[in-house]
Amino acid sequence: MLPTNILDHLTKIAHVRENEPLSHHVTIRVGGTAAGYVVARDLQGLKEIMRVVYDNRLDFIVIGAGSNLLFRDGGFSGLVIENFNVKGGAGDSSVQLEENADGSCLVKVESGIPLARLSYYLSRNGFSGLEWAVGIPGTIGGAVVNNAGAHGGSIGNILEAAYILEPGDVLKQVTPADLEYSYRYSNIRYKWRENGYRPVVLQVTLRLHRESPDVLQKRIMLYSGRRRSSQPSQPSSGSMFKNPLSHTAGWLIDQAGLKGTRIGDAQISSRHGNFFVNRGHASYSDVEQLMNMAKDKVLQGFDIALEEEVEILGNDASE
């Protein structure tokens, strides 16, 4: 339960849902409930919510589309803040374009904008750099935190700056070097505990370049087609494990004979060994058992320790 005085404070600026099922808000559709759940629909809304949260030192997490997250079955005892921008696009103040004489372009966007929508919008308008993100169901904020990437591209390659909010209304501008980016790694995700708070990404500036919209549309269709032919359509969190240096995690799980293995309603996809799908009513515990099975078999068979690409949050069912 959230303290009543904070609830009162929050309800003045946003609709707060108590005991909200988190399975409704992560793409793999598992997990317990959140003590409190609010949605920020734009930058202003996010800032207002964060002011209350930081001032009251409330336990919180900002999520985007929940496409790289699993909450355990015991749920989350603080406040989950969904930062998902329903607008974003042509003529919208949430996307600001600045063209340079050398053909490069800076685009500043609010962190809650869906990656795929932004990718289509930019390519239609002849700005290249984010085509790889088509088909990734996250937000640009989540992509910055995870250094998301695909088809040889990544956020780290095009990020000019991210604008980050810290307690006390402190706004910081950071570069990829500040974020210590490496493969699916940023210090926002992995090191926030050292400071005792999670920084929040408010806005992002990307450096893009001019290219013909026709060429960009073709590239987008190529990438979409590759995804459709290799990835399952059932609810999942995308890749469960990071690819080790020597082999892909999907290949290792396939070689371990685990494709198609099912526990409860959770299944290792028979199409892609690194995608764990929810066939209906899977719990976090079902998924966890499959993850442990995959880790054990790959360690035994190949002496390789798989590391989660997804982030796992919240309490055990017994807590």
Ligand X SMILES: Cc1cc2nc3c(=O)[nH]c(=O)nc-3n(C[C@H](O)[C@H](O)[C@H](O)COP(=O)(O)OP(=O)(O)OC[C@H]3O[C@@H](n4cnc5c(N)ncnc54)[C@H](O)[C@@H]3O)c2cc1C
Residue among 66, 75, 88, 129 that touches ligand X (CB under 6 A) = 66
User: Dihedrals φ, ψ of 216, to 5°?
Assistant: -65, -40
Looking up tokens 């919209």 gives 213
Q: Which of 239, 269, 283, 288 is catalytic?
A: 239
The yes or no reply on residue 61 touching ligand X (CB under 6 A) is yes
Is 89 or 137 the residue whose CB approaches ligand X more closely?
137
Stretch that binds ligand X, among 71-79, 88-96, 135-143, 285-293 (CB under 6 A): 135-143
Stretch that binds ligand X, among 14-22, 209-217, 236-244, 245-253 (CB under 6 A): 236-244
The yes or no reply on residue 79 touching ligand X (CB under 6 A) is no
Contact 288, 32 (CB under 8 A): no
Contact 130, 122 (CB under 8 A): yes
End-to-end Cα distance, the chain: 14
Looking up tokens 């803040």 gives 81
Question: Is 309 labeled as catalytic in the residue annotation?
Answer: yes
Question: Is 283 labeled as catalytic in the residue annotation?
Answer: no
Q: Considering only residues 139-158, where is the footprint of ligand X by CB under 6 A?
A: 139, 141-143, 145-146, 148-150
Helices marked H in the chain: 4-11, 43-55, 115-124, 140-146, 155-158, 187-195, 213-230, 249-255, 284-302
Buried b (16+ CB within 10 A) or exposed e, 116-137: bbbbbbbbebbbbbbbbbbbbb
> DSSP state, 93?
T
DSSP string, 129-163: S-GGGTT--SBHHHHHHHT-EETTEEHHHHEEEEE
The yes or no reply on residue 252 touching ligand X (CB under 6 A) is no
Is 128 or 236 the residue whose CB approaches ligand X more closely?
236
The yes or no reply on residue 53 touching ligand X (CB under 6 A) is no
Residue among 69, 109, 179, 287 that touches ligand X (CB under 6 A) = 69
The yes or no reply on residue 94 touching ligand X (CB under 6 A) is no
Total residues interacting with ligand X, rule: CB under 6 A: 31
Q: Which of 111, 154, 184, 283 is catalytic?
A: 184
The yes or no reply on residue 244 touching ligand X (CB under 6 A) is no
Residue among 85, 119, 203, 237 that touches ligand X (CB under 6 A) = 237
Question: Is 184 labeled as catalytic in the residue annotation?
Answer: yes
Residue among 2, 6, 52, 63 that touches ligand X (CB under 6 A) = 63
Beta bridge partners of 171: 165
Active site residues: 184, 239, 309
Chain positions contacting ligand X, by CB under 6 A: 27, 61-69, 83, 111, 136-139, 141-143, 145-146, 148-150, 189, 200-201, 236-238, 311
